[in-house]
Amino acid sequence: MVRVAGVRIAIATDLIHALSVGLGVHLRLGKVEFGAVGANADHIFCDGPCHIVLEDNYTITGGARRHMNIGVGHLAGANRTFTLTGTPAFTQFIAASNCGTVALSNPTIAGTATGGRYIAETNGVINTFGKATTFLPGTLAGTNPTGGIYA
């Protein structure tokens, strides 16, 4: 198990994710600040069976390809506030694919972003427990191609 808290993460190099979580890792994420990362990089990236728990509220001050990009793994957070300062840009704010799941129970979003709200594809699930499809920050509608679910 790994816990990350009390840091600001900003990486100008393309293709280098702020947090990259892989096979078997259990990440507990505390209060952090996500600054800008390269155009083809994500703030939180997972491409293998893993578990990410959001333990605290955090701030987003810079853009990324995606804020959360969860493939195969699981990300969960309850009663968390995501504070966006400025207007960070994303291709999609959240992406879930390959049976990956994002479960955000009773989330609060403070601030705005540009770009797509979400993409749920290849049986990926984004569960905001009843929040409207316009709830996540972004200026473009979310999409559900190839079996994805937004609930």
> What is the block-wise mean pLDDT of the chain (151 residues), using blocks of 10 residues?
96 94 95 96 96 98 98 97 98 98 98 98 97 98 96 96
What pLDDT was estimated at residue 107?
97
Identify the pLDDT of residue 93.
98
Residue 68: the pLDDT is 98
CB of 89 within 8 A of CB of 114?
A: yes
What is the spatial distance between Cα 85 and Cα 137, in angstroms, rounded to a whole number?
12
Residue 83 to residues 1, 62, 103, 104, Cα–Cα distance (Å): 26, 11, 18, 15
pLDDT at position 116 is: 98
pTM of the full structure:
0.96
Report CA-CA distances (Å) from 14 to 37, 65, 121: 7, 10, 24
**Sequence-distant (≥ 6) Cβ neighbours of residue 109 within 8 angstroms:** 81, 82, 84, 135, 136, 137
Q: Which of 3, 64, 5, 68 is nearest to 32 (CA)?
A: 5
Output the pLDDT for position 25: 94
Q: How confident is the model at residue 117, as a pLDDT?
A: 98
